[in-house]
């Protein structure tokens, strides 16, 4: 799928207006313009609430209707969210389960390599070497996450002022199993496929190296080495014939020739590709100056940087509001224009009947206050706290006062209602968070968490854990007391410090939100924020940054970074303050 690169030579030409068939919003993202279209769908420009431009890619309906595509797409998105490289456009949000799957990536204000060569001609050798080295660095990160790009081509390489950006990594894998590709619909471009792809054999990292050699030749010559035309002819030449490299500059000849070896085992690794670029560079050391691109391409980058501001006026509703779509892992997708609000408290439900409990000397007003017994409840309210069965008490009334059962029954009903309400108050008083007991997790229990049918639960008391040293390769489980790091980084843990350099919420249904600098973390903030992700890289963190963590078991945690291990430390660790609200997530089950 073409990433972010329509044609044109001025800002207005780079941002196509939305057409009548284009959506105006996607999961709360306001769409401002169309950036392009490709084999897998359309790409739109949007913005985060803070004004950061993003590219929203909406998958074609034909793919969305294929269950196997959706399964693979979800798997690839989870993997792609782990890729955080200098030369990749990171995936920041996605929905794999909605009617139209989509993903959001960082917007790169630059043309694709295909658009630049088409509009401005071939690139100088020095630029090609820097381009190939940057793409090779991107492939190191992508392959390190267990992903093979499979569709590396000039239109999936964007040119930015500080280097190239590789986009759409891994997405072609999701389309491989669909009925569309099985019936002859190509997601990739035949001119940039490897022989093993063209012949239907297994692909691997070497497949992307072959494509990188094709890209190097294309950037220097302006045409793919195996030509263009009908796909079957191109694929035949890739498998059985040698590439046309007569126009490749001598300094690029060894690099391109080795990458285009028919045998995947004979191709260089991406690390060797970078070394070949260094060897071919006259200065022997690659240095990327600000003017690494030709002046015409740099001018186009400046024009594309003037992204049109989003229309902040929401369109009139054309259909009833729907539930926000979900992101991978079951978390609600980031909806910047539709912030969520705390769920209103539920009405009180029936309390257990406990007539034998003692009555406190000074009963306080509570949700079970006897003075509310006779009030008329609205139709939507839950049952009254206590409703005695009149027949039971009248049958027990015997003796001389049996003839006065009417007043006696009434008096018994009122007395028993008082005793029942006071008993519930006495049972819950010691566990109410307002008691100030400060007893850790026990003080956070609510009436419903104590075994009753419960009503609106009070907020759980926070359990603070200061100075937790979480070492890379270890994890935390918020429900544990005391909270101590345990060894293991990949096993469905609630919060782990992965040795790859990121915090991971991989537990079933778990998610994280990285709060903005200066944003104050609290229970209310963590309940309402919806900018969900599964992991946060440590290089994005600094002292004082906070993360809201929601576990699949219903706990909420506020993670505050207090320190990062120095470079000369024998171990890699984060020093964290962790505040836990057990069962504090909105809608969490009572425990």
Range with top average pLDDT, 34-38, 149-153, 236-240: 236-240
440 or 310, which is more confident? Answer: 310
Same domain? 383 vs 484: no
Of 305, 338, 368, which residue is a domain's last? 305
Nearest residue to 53 (alpha-carbon basis) of 244, 304, 273:
304
Taking only Cα atoms into account, the Rg of the chain, rounded to an integer number of angstroms, comes to: 31
Mean pLDDT over each residue of the chain, to the nearest integer: 74
Least confident of 4-13, 139-148, 520-529: 4-13
Most confidently predicted of 329-338, 381-390, 580-589? 580-589
Q: What is the pLDDT of residues 430-489, one digit of tens each?
A: 434 333 333 333 333 333 333 344 456 688 999 999 999 999 999 999 988 889 999 998
How many Å apart are CA 565 and CA 157, to the nearest integer? 35
Kindly state the average pLDDT of the residues 206-215. Answer: 97
CA 265 to CA 202: how far, in whole Å? Answer: 13
One domain, residues 422 and 494: no
Q: Across residues 64-81, what is the average pLDDT?
A: 81
* Cα torsion 30, 33, 35, 39: sign: positive
What distances in angstroms separate CA 443 from CA 235, 334, 456, one per listed residue? 69, 33, 16
Report the pLDDT value the prediction gives residue 147, as an integer from 0 to 100: 86
Tell me whether residue 451 is in a domain.
no
For 499: left if phi > 0, alpha if psi spans -120 to 50, otherwise beta; the answer is: alpha
Give the best-scoring range by mean pLDDT among 135-149, 250-264, 361-375, 516-530. 250-264
Residues 198-225, mean pLDDT to the nearest whole number: 94
Q: Quickly list H helices, 81-225.
A: 113-120, 125-144, 171-175, 179-182, 195-198, 205-221
The per-residue DSSP string of 549-577 comes to: EE-TTS-EEEEEEEEE--TT-SS-EEEEE
- Taking 70 as the threshold, does the pLDDT of residue 323 lie above it? no
Q: Which residues of 27-66 are buried (b: 16+ CB within 10 A; e: fewer)?
A: bbbbbbbbbbbbbbbbbbbbbbeeeebbbbbbbbeebbeb
Q: How confident is the model at residue 109 (pLDDT cuts 50, 70, 90)?
A: confident
Instruction: Name the more confident of 420 and 200.
Output: 200
| Same-domain status, 437 and 531 | no
Alpha-helical (H) ranges within 306-387 are none
| Dist. CA 368–CA 429, nearest whole Å | 12
The answer, as to whether pTM is greater than 0.95, is: no
Tell me the residue ranges of DSSP E strands in 217-364.
none
282 is catalytic: no
- Average confidence (pLDDT) over 488-499: 88
Q: Which residues pair with 102 in a beta bridge?
A: 58, 95
**DSSP type of residue 88:** B
Residue 347, pLDDT > 80, answer no
DSSP single-letter state for residue 137: H
The single residue listed with the structure tokens 């006779």 is 374
107-121, 302-316, 442-456, 538-552: segment of lowest average pLDDT: 442-456
Return d(Cα 409, Cα 538) in angstroms, integer.
69
Residues 203 and 300 in one domain: yes
Edge-to-edge strands of the sheet including 502-504? 486-487, 474-476, 495-498, 502-504, 535-537
DSSP state of 223: S
In a domain, 36, yes or no: yes
DSSP assignment string, 474-521: EEE-TT-SS---EE-SSSS-SEEEETTTEEE--STT-EEEEPPTTPPP
The answer on pLDDT for 191 being more than 50 is: yes
**Is 377 found in the same domain as 232?**
no
Give pLDDT, residue 380: 38
Q: Name the more confident of 178 and 500.
A: 500
**Does the pLDDT value for residue 371 go beyond 50?**
no
Number of compact structural domains in the chain: 3
Per-residue confidence (pLDDT) for residue 172, from 0 to 100: 57
Do both 566 and 431 map to the same domain? no
- The answer to whether residue 452 is domain-embedded is no
Higher pLDDT, 396 or 29: 29
Per-residue three-class SS string for 400-434: HHHHHHHHHHHHHHHHHHHHHHHHHHHHHHCCCHH
Band of residue 540 on the pLDDT scale cut at 50, 70, 90: confident
pLDDT band with cut points at 50, 70 and 90 for residue 557: very high
Is pLDDT at 1 greater than 80 in this prediction?
Answer: no
For the record, the structure tokens of 357 come out as 């409990």
Same domain for 257 and 132, yes or no, is: yes
> Which has more confidence, 30 or 264?
264
Which residue matches tokens 């300094």?
A: 251
Q: Is the pLDDT of residue 393 over 70?
A: no
Query: What backbone torsions phi and psi does residue 467 show, to the nearest 5 degrees?
Result: 65, 40
Determine the pLDDT at residue 310: 52
pLDDT of residue 302: 85
Q: Are residues 495 and 436 in the same domain?
A: no
Residues 428 and 369 in one domain: yes
pLDDT of 53 above 60: yes
- Position 286 scores a pLDDT of 65
Domain that holds residue 409: 346-441
Active-site entry in 93, 95, 151, 504:
151
Let me know if residue 232 belongs to a domain. Answer: yes
Residue 332 lies in a domain: no
Pair (516, 420) in one structural domain: no
Verify that 366 and 301 share a domain, yes or no. Answer: no
Would you state the pLDDT for residue 297? Answer: 92
Residues 327 and 93 sit within 8 Å (Cβ to Cβ): yes
- Greater confidence (118 vs 542) lies with 118
Q: What is the pLDDT of residue 509?
A: 81
Q: What is the pLDDT of residue 64?
A: 80
Q: What is residue 423's predicted lDDT score, i.e. its pLDDT?
A: 43
pLDDT value at 367 more than 50: no
Average pLDDT of 261-275?
96
Q: Is residue 120 part of a domain?
A: yes
Choose the weakest-confidence range: 204-213, 509-518, 571-580.
509-518
In this structure, the answer to whether residues 125 and 236 fall within a common structural domain is yes
458 falls within a domain: no
pLDDT at 182 over 50: no
Tell me: pLDDT of 404 over 80. no
Q: Which residue is it, tokens 């009925």?
A: 179
Q: Does residue 135 lie in a domain region?
A: yes
Confidence tier at 77 by pLDDT (50, 70, 90): confident
**Region 342-350: what's the mean pLDDT?**
42
pLDDT of residue 309: 54
pLDDT band at 130 (very low <50, low <70, confident <90, very high): very high
Phi, psi of 480 (to 5 degrees): -80, 145
The CATH number of residue 125's host domain is 1.10.510.10
């Amino acid at each position: 799928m073409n990433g972010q690169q329509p044609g044109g030579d001025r800002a207005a030409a780079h941002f196509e207006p939305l057409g009548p068939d284009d959506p105006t919003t996607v999961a709360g993202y306001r769409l401002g313009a169309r950036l392009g279209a490709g084999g897998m769908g359309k790409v739109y420009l949007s913005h985060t609430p803070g004004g950061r431009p993003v590219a929203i890619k909406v998958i074609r309906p034909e793919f969305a209707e294929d269950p196997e595509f959706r399964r693979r797409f979800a798997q690839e998105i989870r993997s792609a969210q782990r890729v955080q490289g200098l030369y990749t456009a990171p995936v920041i949000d996605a929905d794999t389960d909605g009617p139209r799957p989509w993903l959001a990536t960082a917007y790169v204000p630059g043309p694709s390599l295909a658009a630049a060569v088409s509009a401005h001609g071939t690139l100088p050798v020095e630029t090609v070497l820097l381009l190939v080295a940057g793409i090779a660095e991107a492939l190191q990160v992508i392959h390190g996450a267990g992903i093979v790009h499979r569709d590396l081509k000039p239109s999936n390489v964007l040119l930015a002022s500080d280097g190239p950006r590789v986009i759409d990594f891994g997405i072609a894998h999701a389309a491989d199993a669909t009925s569309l590709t099985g019936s002859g619909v190509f997601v990739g471009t035949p001119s940039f496929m490897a022989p093993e792809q063209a012949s239907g054999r297994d692909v691997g990292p070497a497949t992307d190296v072959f494509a990188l050699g094709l890209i190097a030749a294309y950037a220097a010559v302006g045409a793919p080495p195996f030509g263009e035309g009908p796909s079957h002819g191109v694929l035949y030449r890739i498998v059985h014939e040698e590439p046309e490299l007569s126009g490749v500059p001598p300094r690029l000849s060894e690099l391109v020739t080795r990458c285009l070896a028919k045998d995947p085992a004979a191709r260089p690794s991406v690390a060797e590709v970078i070394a070949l670029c260094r060897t071919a560079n006259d200065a022997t050391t690659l240095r990327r100056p600000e003017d690494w691109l030709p002046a015409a391409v740099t001018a186009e980058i400046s024009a594309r940087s003037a992204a049109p501001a989003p229309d902040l006026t929401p369109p009139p509703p054309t259909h009833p509001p729907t539930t926000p779509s979900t992101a991978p892992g079951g978390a609600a997708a980031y909806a910047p224009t539709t912030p969520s609000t705390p769920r209103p408290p539920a009405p009180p439900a029936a309390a257990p009947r406990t007539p034998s409990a003692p009555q406190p000397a000074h009963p306080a007003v509570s949700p079970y206050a006897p003075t509310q017994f006779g009030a008329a409840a609205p139709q939507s309210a839950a049952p009254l706290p206590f409703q005695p069965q009149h027949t039971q008490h009248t049958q027990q009334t015997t003796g001389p006062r049996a003839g006065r059962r009417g007043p006696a029954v009434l008096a018994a009903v009122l007395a028993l209602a008082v005793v029942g309400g006071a008993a519930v108050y006495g049972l819950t008083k010691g566990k109410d968070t307002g008691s100030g007991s400060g007893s850790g997790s026990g003080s956070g229990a609510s009436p419903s968490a104590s075994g009753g049918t419960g009503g609106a639960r009070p907020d759980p008391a926070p359990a603070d854990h200061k100075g937790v040293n979480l070492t890379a390769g270890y994890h935390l489980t918020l429900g544990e007391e005391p909270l101590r790091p345990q060894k293991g980084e990949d096993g469905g843990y609630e919060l782990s410090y992965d040795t790859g350099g990121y915090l991971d919420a991989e537990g079933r249904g778990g998610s994280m939100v990285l709060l903005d600098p200066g944003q104050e973390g609290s229970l209310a903030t963590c309940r309402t924020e919806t900018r969900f992700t599964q992991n946060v890289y440590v290089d994005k963190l600094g002292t004082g940054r906070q993360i809201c963590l929601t576990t699949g078991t219903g706990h909420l945690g506020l993670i505050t970074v207090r320190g990062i291990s120095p470079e000369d430390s024998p171990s890699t660790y984060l020093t964290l303050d962790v505040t836990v609200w057990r069962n504090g997530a909105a809608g969490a089950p009572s425990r």
